[in-house]
Structure 1
Amino acid sequence: MSFRTDRVRLAILLKRNPTLTKEEFSQYWLGTHAALFSGLAIVKTNLLKYEQAHTNEPVLLQLAAAMGAPKSEWDGMAIFEAESYVKIFEIFQSEEYQKVVVPDEKHFIVRQASQALPLDLNTVLDQ
């Protein structure tokens, strides 16, 4: 078993601000916040990929029923891909991110409820 050495991913599970509907959350995150975050110079320099994964509520309920498992509490997942975790951490620690992005997050997520997963990659199947 070996992990890729050319890139890593960080996934952050997000819980939406309870004052927003699921649609409002997705719209804000896809539009306003995505433009704000991806417009930062350090993001353009340090990230290879930024993806948003928004939960599909009808499928989420079907999946929970089919698996006999509880419905997931998460509303989405932000996925950051870079050459190293250091490059990702540089973004989060930058003055620009702290001044511009962090204050914007309160509009659509509960930041203190987020959970981060640093992910080393091993592709098993790629069709």
Structure 2
Amino acid sequence: MIKLVMCVRRRPEMSRKEFQEYWRTHHGPLFQRFASAYKARRYVQSHTIDTPLNEDVRRSRGMSQEYDGVAEIWWESEEDFVDAISSAEGQRPRSVFLDDEAKFIDFSQSAAFFTQEHVLVKENG
């Protein structure tokens, strides 16, 4: 499995609440509609919460400001991802996603990269 991780920041004219609402209630369902054509195995949005803990962690490590959220999309393999974005069926959702993301994501302040997960602690139970 491979995973695309997107650390996203909102467009400057949006509040965090507006950004997260749009992301969850509009973009999320949009992705769900095309997930099978995109060969995505899993899609998760993690929304940053407003808590003083963010500032404490950031300051204690000398880190930059937090992102507004993180998106994770899994594929079975790199080949599945390449096949999905190369196929006619996968081209349409890719452009739909990019057009929609431009409405709420500040691309210049965000980051995206592929990863392979290494689970070091599993939940008990």
* TM-score above 0.5, yes or no: yes
Residue-pair matches, total: 118
Supply the RMSD in Å over aligned alpha carbons: 2.0
| Residue 81 (structure 1) aligned with residue 77 (structure 2) | no
- Percent identity, aligned pairs only, is 23
Contact 2:9 2:110 in 1 (8 A): yes
The alignment's TM-score, normalised by the length of structure 2, stands at 0.80
SS in 2 for 1:13: strand
Tell me the residue number matched to 2:105: 109
Q: 1:112 to 1:27 in 2, by over 3 A?
A: same
User: Runs of 4 or more off by more than 6 Å in structure 1?
Assistant: none
- 2:13 aligned to 16, 19, 36, which one? 19
Q: 1:103 to 1:16 in 2, by over 3 A?
A: same
Q: Kindly report which structure 2 residues correspond to 1:39-118, keeping only aligned pairs within 5 A, or say none.
A: 39-40=33-34, 43-45=35-37, 46-58=39-51, 59-65=53-59, 67-92=60-85, 94-118=90-114
Q: 1:76 to 1:88 in 2, by over 3 A?
A: farther
The alignment's TM-score, normalised by the length of structure 1, stands at 0.79
**Unaligned 5+ residue runs, structure 1?**
1-6
Tell me the residue number matched to 2:25: 31
